Amino acid sequence: MRWENFFFRKKKMRISFLAETFFSNRPVLSNYSATKIMARQYNPFPLTTARYLDSFRSNNYLAGGLKTTYTLSRRWHLQAEGHVFSDVKKIVPQDGYAAGYIPGFSEPVFMYHGALVYHTGFRPLSACISYFEGENDPWVFMLNFGYILFNRKTF
């Protein structure tokens, strides 16, 4: 279940709240890696969909965040986001690289995202910086022209 609501709108600023919960009775697979790869990932903005984030994958989780957009001018705007994620049943490696669950809430992890966007007459041009707590390479800097598009998921 996912819910997003813009609770503050003024001329130049918008703030929204995003909440997501996911519960599944999916069993663990034959090994830890396969279980983590098949687990659902929390994806609050497009970059997260394009990247594998081990710390933000689970078969049972609660997550949420705030998104802010500030309009600088007709063509320029700033975006800032902060999100928190917590497993309800954490997937952990066990003997022989099997997978198992630890019941109860895990320690929360955070992700942050900021972007400066210029709307050209054709497509947007953006410079983004993101931080993903708990990842091996937590910082991402991206220059992007256009939109990030995805095919439909097969499962």
Q: Is 107 a domain residue?
A: yes
Q: What is residue 68's predicted lDDT score, i.e. its pLDDT? A: 96
In the predicted model, what is the mean pLDDT of residues 53-61?
94
Q: What is residue 95's predicted lDDT score, i.e. its pLDDT? A: 87
Residue 155 pLDDT more than 70?
no
Q: What is residue 83's predicted lDDT score, i.e. its pLDDT? A: 98
Taking only the tens place, the pLDDT of each residue in 77-130 is: 999 999 999 999 999 988 888 898 888 888 999 999 999 999 998 899 999 999
* 3-class SS letters over the chain: CEEEEEEEECCCEEEEEEEEEEECCCCCCCCHHHHHHHCEECCCCHHHHCCCCHHHEECEEEEEEEEEEEECCCCEEEEEEEEEEEECEEEEECHHHCEEEEECCCCCEEEEEEEEEEECCCCEEEEEEEEECCCCCCEEEEEEECCCCCCCCCC
Q: What is residue 121's predicted lDDT score, i.e. its pLDDT? A: 87
Q: Is 60 a domain residue?
A: yes
72 contacts: CB under 8 Å, gap ≥ 6: 12, 78
Residue 154 pLDDT more than 80?
no
Highest-pLDDT range among 27-31, 38-42, 95-99: 38-42
Instruction: Tally the domains of the chain.
Output: 1
**What does pLDDT average to over the chain?**
92
Q: Is 78 a domain residue?
A: yes
Q: Is 150 a domain residue?
A: no
Of residues 132 and 97, the one with the higher pLDDT is 132
In the predicted model, what is the mean pLDDT of residues 3-7?
89
Q: Is 18 a domain residue?
A: yes
Tell if the pTM clears 0.75, that is, is over it. yes
In the predicted model, what is the mean pLDDT of residues 22-50?
91
Range of the domain at 117: 2-145
Q: Is 58 exposed, middle or buried (0-12, 13-18, 19+ CB in 10 A)?
A: buried
Q: Is 153 a domain residue?
A: no
